[in-house]
Chain A
Amino acid sequence: MATQTQKQFFQQLKKYYSVYTGGFIGFVILLAIAEQMGLTPKYIGYAFLFATISLYAVIGIMSRTADVSEYYVAGRRVPAFFNGMATGADWMSAASFIGMAGGLYIQGYDGLAFIMGWTGGYVLVALFLAPYLRKFGQFTIPDFLGERYGGNIVRSVGVFAAILCSFTYVVAQIYGVGIITARFTGIEFGIGVFVGLGGILVCSFLGGMRAVTWTQVAQYVILIIAYLLPVVWLSIQITNFPIPQLSYGYALQKVTEREKQINADPKELEVRAIFKQRADDVDAKLKALDKDGAAYLATERASIEKKLSDLKSAKTPDDKAIAANQKALDSFPKDTANAGVAWRKDKGANLARAAPVRAHAEAFPGKDDAAKNTARLNFLALVFCLMVGTAALPHILMRYYTTPSVREARESVGWSLFFIFLLYFTAPALAVLVKFDVYTHLVGLNFADLPKWVASWAAVDPTLVSIKDLNGDGIVQLAEIVLGQDIIVLATPEIAGLPYVISGLVAAGGLAAALSTADGLLLTIANALSHDVYYKMLDPHASTQRRLTVAKVLLLIVAVIAASVAAQKPADILFLVSAAFSFAAAAFFPALVLGIFWKRANKWGAILGMSAGLGITFYYMAMTQPWLRSLFSVTSPIADNMWFGINPISAGVFGVPLGFAVIVTVSLFTAAPDKKVQELIEHVRYPHLKGTAARAN
């Protein structure tokens, strides 16, 4: 077989993926026809689940490899355009796909921090990292740190940070896969997790980066079709225009008008007063608890027990009331500390529902100027951490090792952001369109006429949607509706009146988003261990075959550990995922950027700078984040530990500047790096230096 030129390769890929996309659309149409002929939703769910996973498996098996460079960096011949798609799928996780539009629905303008943060970071990737890392041309991010700063300590710090950021993230993806399969097929969550594990391993186990790359491209195609199709349909229905991103300004204006009407509606005020009353009741309990402590708790408990026994001994036992009281008794806090936490949370939840509706487009709301300024500062700090974190997450940076040239690496960042942008500029539109539908159609409806999706999703998971007639007027008020974050994307096909097959498509899209991200992350962790720890530090003379065996075994082990953690349903995983951005930002960004742009940066600067950045980020979180505080038994009041009122999720805003400062200071006080390192820096700065080798030709 003659060797293919890069151009022929690109043409061939274009052909394959066009056929593939057409085939996928054909598959959806076939299922739609089958649905009309009576295929039930459950089997549509199964069909999507198994068809897509087998598809990924086929690509994974076709891409199996025994070549080190193919395994770690896909042979460095992924064209810019396709690397952009793969990066898009690598980047967009279950949270982006399923949760983001819901976050925007709930938070309005403030949710845009994620939209800006998760896109603007690519500007930093393009300007400071991608072309230079590509020129460096090794296999992992700790690799670059190790070569540039010299010695195994820097490499080890890099490995540690890479695993810290990636592991929690991969657990969250596998968790997401479990949830999606459970919701759409009725398979139990724990089994769903292991179905997901299988789906991840079929892509990455045999072919490493090469297989992951080509499945990620396939996954991108599915996820973007699945995301855009329902939104376009919804847009046609609401605005009579098929490009939601252009037309939702109109819907936003209507939403803003409705917000004002709803806030003045006496029926809404009635419902909100109920929640205010509940908050006051809880507050009274809290006050009594403060005063009498354990004695008050005991009397409260006794009164519930008495009521329960009264109910049970009544002539005609009221089963509903008994069940409610039993539940209250079962969940009754066991000591004063627990009671304080639970009741304060309860009070907060009731107060939140007693509050008037916030204007969707309003930036940084707050009760006074100080609160507004803190909200603004937190918004900007979060944007900063998400951006710098994006530009420092190893599983993303690693993708730019796979392009054929520096030139294509630069273009590839543009394509990456373009493909991500397609989803991210749609999410705010979706949030507004759904809000429009809820505010104008759902609110004011008779309870008897509730749309079908409300009942069907509430049956799947009551945290997704719950609507209760609290003031008993038989009409839905906005304050009576609770929507979970994920419902916005999940229910869009039904709100738009599309057949169930589109819901199945959305599930397949969410699955593709979660699997593709999990693959990239898993490979990052396993490669850091197999390449940086095993090959570079433990056994530099290992044979190719041995290196690949070790890499695959480690991949398997890490995947199984991650799936077992996910199967435990760890409650605080969401916080850890967002914390990963602050950690990545503080650990990697200063050392990587200074390593390229400042020749004087040296080993000790990097070691201490990375550790200091990580250290302060971690310290700040441990002092201010409730779950970490309880883990480290920090008892001082949160308010005293806050700096400028910054939330723990944005702790990287302290870590990044400190990292830069420490690297600069320590480097200046210690010896400059040697000539070899200086030459390495020059090497990465120029795509092609015509040195001695070129002259010999």
Chain B
Amino acid sequence: MQLTERHREYWRKNVRLTAILLAIWFVVTYVVGFNARELNTITVFGFPLGFYMGAQGALIIYVVMIFYYAHYMNKLDIEYGVAEEDK
């Protein structure tokens, strides 16, 4: 079937969100990881920050990101009329 302009817009929005979340994922994992030694000089809740991010902080951000993506996309589906019909 031929895609409409609205379909294309849906996909563009999806790709944009994917790119944004991927950028956050990259920063949380690699930029923070790269600078772990320096971040360890800062203390948060009794933890050196670099260690905390690797052991907990990054993980929490990952979980939140995935749920946010699901929530956003499920809404986008309905908005653009591409949601699945209830069975």
Contact = CB atoms under 8 A, between A and B. Distances in A.
A581 to B, nearest CB: 16
B64 to A, nearest CB: 9
A690 B78 CA distance: 12
A424 B70 CA distance: 22
Contacts of B13: none
A116 interface: yes
A421 B45 CA distance: 20
Interface stretch (A292-300, A411-419, A460-468, A666-674): A411-419
A425 B55 CA distance: 6
B59 A119 contact: yes
B59 A126 contact: no
Given A116-B58, A363-B36, A411 B29 contact: no
A305 B70 CA distance: 71
Interface in A364-418: 364, 372, 376, 379-380, 383-384, 387, 404-407, 410-411, 413-414, 417-418
Interface in A434-480: none
B65 A686 contact: no
A253 B51 CA distance: 12
B74 A361 contact: no
A103 interface: no
Interface residues of A, number: 59
Contacts of A362: 37, 40
Given A362-B40, A425-B56, A688 B85 contact: yes
Given A116-B29, A127-B18, A688 B46 contact: no
Contacts of A281: none
A363 B51 contact: yes
Contact of B54 (A112, A404, A597, A692): A112
Contacts of A123: 21-22, 25, 62, 65-66
B5 interface: no
Contacts of B60: 421, 425
A280 interface: no
B1 A406 contact: no
A115 B59 contact: yes
A677 to B, nearest CB: 15
Contact of A246 (B11, B45, B74): B45
Q: Which of B29, B34, B58, B70 has the most CB of A within 10 A?
A: B70
B12 to A, nearest CB: 11
Q: Which of A363, A383, A685, A689 has the most CB of B within 10 A?
A: A363
Contact of A127 (B1, B21, B52): B21
A361 B50 contact: yes
A6 interface: yes
Interface string A246-261: 1001101100000000
B65 to A, nearest CB: 6
Interface string A79-107: 00000000000000000000000000000
Contacts of B28: 120
A115 B1 CA distance: 44
A362 B83 CA distance: 48
Contact of A410 (B3, B59, B70, B81): B70
A417 B66 contact: yes
A120 B69 contact: no
B85 to A, nearest CB: 7
- The 5 lowest CB-CB distance pairs between A and B, nearest first, are A249-B46, A112-B54, A410-B70, A363-B36, A428-B55
Interface of B: 1, 3, 7, 10-11, 14-15, 18, 21-22, 25, 28-30, 33-34, 36-37, 40, 45-48, 50-52, 54-56, 58-60, 62-63, 65-67, 69-70, 73-74, 77, 81-85, 87
Given A363-B37, A407-B83, A688-B83, 11 more contacts: A126-B70, A361-B40, A361-B47, A361-B51, A383-B29, A383-B33, A407-B77, A410-B69, A417-B63, A682-B1, A689-B1
16 contacts: A5-B87, A112-B54, A115-B55, A116-B29, A120-B28, A122-B66, A123-B22, A252-B48, A364-B36, A376-B36, A406-B77, A407-B84, A413-B66, A421-B62, A685-B11, A687-B84
